[in-house]
Structure 1
Amino acid sequence: MKSNKRIRYGYILQIVVIIGIQIISLLTQPSRFVTAIVLIIILGAYLTDEYFCLSGTIRKVNVIVQILFQPFAFSYTAGTLLTLITPFKIMPVVSLCILVWYTISFFPYIQQFIAPIKNNGLRLFWLIYFFQIAISPLAYFGITSSTNPWFGAFFSTGLIGAVAYSIGLIKTMQAWHFGDPIILIKNRSKDNVLVISVFAILVALFIYSNLVNINTWAKLSSLRFWQLLLEAMEAGIGEEVLCRFGILTLLLYFVRKLSLRIPIAIIGSSLLFGLFHFLNLTGQGLALTIYQFCFTAVSGIFFSLLFLYSGHLELVIVIHFMMDLLSYSATGDSSLSGNITLSEYQSVINLTFLMLVLLIWMMFGKRHQVMEKHAKLLISRGNDK
């Protein structure tokens, strides 16, 4: 748990500030007494380990506790701060400062606890766990602003969490000595017109398949469209950074010695991408969620191929964002509703067949060479375990 003095002292100061905020929360928002006390105890355990010699077993347990619960402490504290300053007129300025703090607050935690992790299975677990915690610091409170609903909508989505997660994940992958999206952009190969044309056609086909059974578009207010826009940005940024960069890179490293490492990693990351959508069971039915799993898993193959071939994660983010925005705008909701028809399942089956054909096609010739080059850039500096 020890690091260089500059990082350690800055980290200690950050923890002390967070504890102070939770103490203020105890006095002003007693309904959150239990959570605040638990966070103070957990962060206090970190400070105790810094200044006192704990036994080896206790220290190991403390490290596990800090890895699991410090991200929640940072997220919860960001939400606490925003609720504390909501009644004041200075909310916009102070809130923006809090959001900037939130996007960088994980850096010392990553340096102190996550960078030393060598086991790639634990790395994969942490990427997924960290996503669930970091993505929605404000969702714990449902923050709104009576004076400015547009500003309140901005706070009540997970967009800021997605940005914070993305920055934190890129720093983490760098700490683990993997590549990052900037490396791919700097070393990208010349585009092939045929391949780009195929990808463009398939983007249109995915959008069509997503909207074909919608008879009438929802009538949205400007505020509701703003909310759906933010939610689509959250999904595009957060999910693509997690699945197409983080998980795909780790899976490529897991199977780096296999001749079929690229298709195996692509299918594995796509299945995980689909499985994540079972978290939506809290807001929609099982049949709709199963359909969503199938569609997102298939689209994950497409996104992975596009990322590995083009080397542009930002391109995949934009396409994902546009697909979600069109779907959300058409239905008026980010969750699925209604009944799944036979034609929709047929559409998914057709897309699955097309993606498998595309995957096989991309495994030959210059297309495969380009993806192999980009895969090596992502994993060549990874630590072996």
Structure 2
Amino acid sequence: MLVPIAVVHVGPIKNWFLRLLTIYFLDIQYGDAQNLAINPDFRWLHSLTYQGVIAAIALLTMTCFLVKAWGYHFNPNLKFIKSPSFQKKILLALLIMATIDLFYNIPNLTAAIEPGILEETERYLLIVIFLTGFNRFPKYRIPVAIYGSAILFGLSHLSNFGWHGESFTATIAQVIGVMGAPLSGQNCISIQENYGCR
């Protein structure tokens, strides 16, 4: 339902800081995913809504339209590169075990899918905003995108305080850990390769 609002009102915004603010306000619309309450007897549907998977997919959908309205095109560059030790038998065995496991651990699966979609969408938006916002400063663009998105992404986890009884200390530890994870060398290399920067 927010797609038309996002495209019409947020799409024309050019200022990078205002884009950050609008992303924040749009993002909080997906915070309380448990409002889509479904009877626990319907195990699959209840798990999808209770864990926030539907909300994550909604945010991803809105992001696709919003980024397109900003004039950017998707280039996922998802190539399957086989490692030297790749074996089809091992891949097939893993897929079979994962499929069997799905029927016994639906809540664990959906609990993993939700942050995988929602949080990576948030991080993608932050990186795009910082990269384009500092386009006139090629020397600082990559560091700002990496550190700025990592700091904001980490701070967004402050909202987990009190969620399912999470303590303040645990929340701070999570914020620090989340801030540090994107700053690994692999993320820096990935961003540089995708944008052709040194």
Question: How would you bin the TM-score normalised by the shorter chain?
Answer: 0.7 to 0.9
Q: Distance in 2 between matches of 1:264 and 1:112?
A: 28
- Percentage of matched positions with identical amino acids: 22
Cα deviation, residue 172, structure 1: 0.4
Q: 1:250 aligns with which of 123, 129, 133?
A: 129
Residue in structure 1 matching 2:162, options 243, 258, 282: 282
SS in 1 for 2:196: helix
- Corresponding residue SS for 2:9: helix
Match runs of 1:173-192 below 5 Å: 173-180=67-74, 183-185=75-77
Aligned with residue 226 of structure 1, among 99, 102, 106: 106
Note the 1:154-303 alignment, pairs <5 A: 154-180=48-74, 183-185=75-77, 225-243=105-123, 245-258=124-137, 259-283=139-163, 284-302=166-184
* Contact 1:135–1:165 under 8 Å retained in 2: no
- Among 22, 29, 40, the residue aligned to 1:133: 29
Aligned 1:39-58 pairs, distance under 5 A? none
Q: Which amino acid aligns with 1:185?
A: N
Q: How many residues matched?
A: 175
Question: Which of 1 and 2 has greater Rg?
Answer: 1
> Aligned with 1:139: secondary structure?
helix
> Are 2:53 and 2:113, in contact at CA under 8 Å, matched by a contact in 1?
yes
Q: Does the CA-based 8 Å contact 2:161-2:171 persist in structure 1?
A: yes
Structure 1 residue 161: Cα displacement: 0.8
C-alpha separation between the residues in 2 aligned to 1:271 and 1:118? Answer: 22
Matches of 1:160 and 1:374 in 2, distance apart? 36
Q: Residues 158 and 171 of structure 2 are in contact (CA less than 8 Å); yes or no, is this contact kept in structure 1?
A: yes
The 5 A counterparts of 1:61-80 are none
1:289 CA displacement: 1.3
Structure 2 residue runs of 5 or longer lacking an equivalent are: 85-102
How far apart, CA to CA, are the structure 2 residues paired with 1:279 and 1:287? 13
The code of the aligned residue for 2:39 comes to S
| Contact in 2 for aligned 1:271/1:297 (Cα 8 Å) | yes
The alignment yields a C-alpha RMSD, in angstroms, of 2.9
Q: Which amino acid aligns with 1:140?
A: N
User: TM-score under structure 1 normalisation?
Assistant: 0.41
Distance 1:184 1:373, change over 3 A: farther
- 2:42 equivalent in structure 1: 148
- Compute the TM-score of the two structures, normalised by the length of structure 2: 0.75
Question: Matches of 1:261 and 1:374 in 2, distance apart?
Answer: 9
Aligned to 1:266, the other structure's residue is in SS state helix
User: What is aligned with 1:24?
Assistant: none
